[in-house]
Amino acid sequence: MTQQISIFDTTLRDGTQGEGISLSADDKIKIAQKLDTLGVHYIEGGNPGSNSKDIEFFKRVKSLQLRAKITAFGSTRRKNSIAEHDASLLRIVESGVPAATLVGKSWDFHVHTALQTTLEENLSMIADSFAFLKRNGMEAIYDAEHFFDGYKHNPEYAIAALRSAQDAGADWIVLCDTNGGTLPGEIQEIVTRVRQELTAPIGIHTHNDCELAVANTLAAVSAGARQVQGTINGYGERCGNANLCSIIPNLQIKMNYQCIETEQLVQLTNVARYVSEIANVHMPVNQAYVGNAAFAHKGGIHVSAILKDSKTYEHIAPELVGNKQRILVSELAGQSNIISKAQELGLDIHSNNEKTKQIIDKIKELEHQGYQFEGADASLELLLREAFGEYKEIFKLESFKMLVEKSNGKMVSEAIVKINVDGETVYTAAEGNGPVNALDNALRKALVQFYPRIMDVHLSDYKVRVFDEIDATAAKVRVLIESTDFNNTWSTVGVSSNIIEASWQALVDSIRYALLNSAKQENSGNDQRERLGLINH
């Protein structure tokens, strides 16, 4: 029988301790709803008494009726006190959540140095706090802070700390590698010993300071841990927490544990990218399972093999986690790359087609000029569709002007755009916090009356690369723009010795691709409605 692993997501609490991550109450609500669609079992929302954002989150989340258990975070009672008088514990109970996680010391060094109390008092703090939660009808989870360091220094005391929580009624005993310095072999050995000492179910909470958080989590599960704590995309303090986007598929696909439902696993890539957008943190393209390059292939030999059988260079089918295979096209590409990419787009192409050779030559020439299509899939698709006569120009640029003014110490950019849509000339102007932002705003303003869905698209990343530095300020630049509509992410490229012109090229490609994608979705929906008899002819 497949064993169930409980997934405990702490993106909204531990994840927000990562550098550069700050989530509003609205952000937390949005992410909680998205996590619930993924099927995680616990969503740790924060500390209900630590700041106004968390207080607001716990008030608002009650009305969402999520399937996951919303969990509050706190610590064991203060030393030389009683749980009933501890303000933090009282706020947890008052928050109305069904479950709470309390962090407590299990390393004697921390008891003496950080808490500055006795070993006996620390055990009382743990026992009193968990007994208090259980008297108030809550599910109680003990996060044994620095457990592995504590165990290696004083195993008897570390186990005694766990027993204090267990005997007081704790439902889960979670072993924390708080400093992230333990190795997988040590994790497996220690978790195995702990299971022999306790009757309560064990959980694991690891940090990534040695790039081992995922490996350590898998080792702990192999040794008997049945709750996994982590964050989406591995966000967290210092080097981050264990990355649930790697842990869940590793456990479920590779190790045959049950974490979430199969149809929920398909949402993993979408959830990872959604959270990165809300957190305003760019996802590494090479992130395992969910990264944009996780199933990308560039070398001609690889692609030739992929066309025969994807298992030759892919360890799983990318669709299992909601990702997709990508064939990169560059100056290193052979005909196999072009053929595969064109077939993916539904274009009629084969190896001895003269047009294929022409396209390869054109791509190589463009890349010689500075274009880079391996990081700009959307621009490549537009190029291929144009070459095969499968793309209709949606709008044409007649002219644009840029005005940049510094007044009273403030920079103001204004763009004036003149375009033609189906024979109708549209003339608009818009301001922005920079030239590219102003151009983006003006172009959207001109197009929105014809294509309202364009307002769902926004730029998520903007990169400028200078090459031929010897030309100094006259050097060519390559602009890469990443855009998203929360469901899809795509990248476009522009090259010019003028950064505004390069940005315009990438920006226009981004909008063109968005409109093309929207039309394809609409046509697909019409086809489906027609099959269902919902469209009359």
Q: Summarize pLDDT for 192-228 with one digit per residue, the tens.
A: 999 999 999 999 999 999 999 999 999 999 999 999 9
pLDDT tens readout for residues 32-77:
999 999 999 999 999 997 788 999 999 999 999 999 999 999 999 9
Quote the CA–CA distance of 470 and 472 in Å, as a whole number.
5
Name which of 230-234, 241-245, 374-378, 393-397 the model is least confident about: 374-378
Quote the CA–CA distance of 81 and 301 in Å, as a whole number.
69
DSSP 403-448: EEEEETTEEEEEEEEEEEETTEEEEEEEEESSHHHHHHHHHHHHHT
Sign of the Cα torsion 119, 125, 130, 132 reads: positive
Name which of 26-30, 124-128, 177-181 the model is least confident about: 26-30
CATH no. of 6-279:
3.20.20.70
How confident is the prediction for the chain on average, in pLDDT? 88
pLDDT at 135: 97
In eight-state DSSP terms, residue 535 is S
Pairing of strands 477-484, 458-466: antiparallel
pLDDT at 138: 98
pLDDT tens readout for residues 276-316:
888 888 888 899 999 988 988 776 667 678 767 778 889 99
Detail the DSSP E strand segments found in 153-238: 172-177, 202-206, 227-230
Supply the pTM of this predicted model: 0.73
Q: What is the mean pLDDT of residues 104-125?
A: 96
Of 504, 510, 508, nearest to 435 by C-alpha is 504
Name which of 126-130, 144-148, 310-314 the model is least confident about: 310-314
Stretch (H or E) spanning 459: strand 458-466
pLDDT at 501: 92
